[in-house]
Amino acid sequence: MIKQILLVFLGGGVGSVLRFLLSRNLNQISAIPLGTLLVNFCGSLIIGLVLGLGLKQEVLSANATLLLATGFCGGFTTFSAFSFENQALLKAGDYLNFGIYSAGSIVLGIAAVLLGLWLAKMA
């Protein structure tokens, strides 16, 4: 059990730092939080790949899946930041970017998971 906790801890830490760096650098260049959008898309793609490969026997171990899916993707993806940024867009009355960002995040996130699962199936 301690090993699994450490794997989640390690993966979550790496994912959180990477999310911070991407969001800090990309969210400033547009009214839409592009860093968060990119993080959520990539995180969804990665979790689709990891879980898809995990379904194939002997492709990824249970520990690797735990490190990458629960740890890294859990720390990397940013639904709470997504929710906060959406309320900020609404508060500012920026309904167009709210709609683009919300719909884009949801559609791209689901599409990325499906793409990741498909890519894993092809591997």
Beta-carbon count within 10 A of 82 CB: 19
Answering whether pTM is above 0.85, one says: no
Beta-carbon count within 10 A of 6 CB: 12
Closest CA to 62 of 15, 10, 4, 1: 4
51-110: pLDDT as tens digits:
888 877 678 888 999 999 999 999 999 888 899 899 999 999 999 999 999 999 999 999
